[in-house]
Amino acid sequence: MTETHFVTGGAGFIGSNLVDRLLDCGRKVVVYDNFSTGRKVFLKRALSNPNFLLWEDDLLDLDAVTRTMSTAPIDMVWHLAANADVRFGLDHPRKDLEQNTIVTHNVLEAMRANNIQKIAFSSTGSVYGEPSLHPTPEDAPFPIQTSLYGASKLACEALIQAYCEGFGFVGYIFRFVSALGERYTHGHVFDFCRKLLDNPDELHILGDGRQRKSYMYVHDCIDAMLLAVEKCYNKASVFNLGVDGYVEVNDSMRVITERMGVRPKLTYAGGERGWVGDSPFIWLDVARIRSLGWKPNVSILDGVIKTLDWLLENKWVFANDCHE
């Protein structure tokens, strides 16, 4: 029988790429998205597929999501909807609590009401705060949180784990480094590209540009998630998802300016961190997901180039920027 997958945030960057992949694999897919940051155009291909169903509603509405999950027999939930904006958390401290923690609780309760027990969740390497170990493994020392975003995602992880123990759920928690690729709509490549299209002669860089970050190509990320869900049957599995290295923000900047053929004057905000709560060094140990047979196919800087090329071919994404 054809499996039906329920994808929250399915109109977003990673969500919509996952949806296309699931449909290509012959799955039925139900997307639930409030289009706060998702884009309907990302679902253009999906919308022409008879196995696809789109619900536009809000996850803060527990009744609505419970009802929606009852309209079809759902085999598993991919909970990707989130406030993914780590940088501006301090401007609206309730947003991460509501859009991440409370929403995740609602998803779990809606699943419980509908007897659905399998959930995959997009967490973040930000839950490691500023780790003492690099690359950082899943069982790193108990971290101290440094951002409201990380704090809220940790709360979601904890809720999912408690539902696994208490209600027999099977959970897959993926701690991502930042993803890059087609349909990417926020982050440093987006910011740099937008700024350089506005003014190719100047580029202001947050922090000192020496922040070391790991980035993963979105299709490598989706490969990893699909593999983990296929191969693991533990109560609650946690996987780091990332690549075997890191670059400095300056490295990425050089690739971007070269590809765009611009030579901007660089200015730096200074300091080790791009903003309060930014981790100056993100590099995850991905031995656990690699042990299942996965490996990334696209290097960090190739991912930057693919992302940039997509942005330059889809400049409309800059017109309706979601930053508040």
> How do beta strands 118-124 and 76-79 pair?
parallel
Burial class of 324 by CB neighbour count within 10 A (0 to 12, 13 to 18, 19+): exposed
Q: Minimum Å distance from CB 214 to its own copies?
A: 18
* Member of 141, 272, 321, 323 binding its own copies (CB under 8 A): 141
The smaller minimum CB distance to its own copies, of residues 89 and 296, is found at 89
How many Cβ atoms are within 10 Å of 243's Cβ, its own excluded? Answer: 23
Q: Which of residues 159-178 bind its own copies (CB under 8 A)?
A: 159, 161-163, 165-167
Interface with its own copies, residue 35, by CB under 8 A: no
At what angle are helices 218-231 and 13-24 packed, to 10 degrees? 60
The verdict on 139 binding its own copies (CB under 8 A) reads: yes
**Do the strands 215-217 and 178-180 form a parallel or antiparallel pair, or are they unpaired?**
parallel
Contact 202, 262 (CB under 8 A): no
CB of 236 to its own copies, least distance (A): 6
CB of 40 to its own copies, least distance (A): 32
* From 276, 287, 292, 312, residue interacting with its own copies (rule: CB under 8 A): 276
Q: Which amino acid is at 285?
A: D
What is the sign, positive or negative, of the torsion defined by CA atoms of 77, 80, 83, 87? positive
Taking residues 211 to 250 in sequence order and writing x for each that binds its own copies by CB under 8 A, - otherwise, the string is -------------------------x-x------------
Decide if residue 101 touches its own copies (CB under 8 A).
yes
- Determine, following the binding rule CB under 8 A, whether residue 125 of this chain makes contact with its own copies: no
- Sign for the CA dihedral angle at 275, 278, 283, 284 comes to negative
For residue 106, the minimal CB distance to its own copies (Å) is: 10
Among 25, 47, 72, 144, binds its own copies (CB under 8 A): 144
- Helix, coil or strand: residue 107: helix
C-alpha neighbours within 13 Å on the C-beta side of residue 197: 16
138 binds its own copies (CB under 8 A): yes
Least Cβ distance, residue 25 to its own copies (angstroms): 30
CB of 195 to its own copies, least distance (A): 25
Span from 10-18, 155-163, 180-188, 249-257 in contact with its own copies (CB under 8 A) = 155-163
Instruction: Tell me: does residue 73 bind its own copies (CB under 8 A).
Output: no
CB of 83 to its own copies, least distance (A): 14
Distances (CA, A) of 256 to 37, 93, 196, 295, 311: 25, 33, 9, 25, 11
Token pair listed for 210: 């020496």
CA 317 and chain centroid, separation: 18
* Tokens 């929606």 found at: 68
Decide if residue 105 touches its own copies (CB under 8 A).
yes
Regarding 150 and contact with its own copies (CB under 8 A), the answer is yes
| CA–CA dist 69, 8 (Å, integer) | 11
Q: C-beta of 191: minimal distance to its own copies in Å? A: 21
Q: What span, in angstroms and rounded, lies between the C-alpha atoms of 284 and 299?
A: 15
Which chain residues interact with its own copies by CB under 8 A?
A: 89-90, 93-94, 97, 101-102, 105, 108-109, 112, 129, 138-148, 150-152, 154-155, 157-159, 161-163, 165-167, 236, 238, 276-277
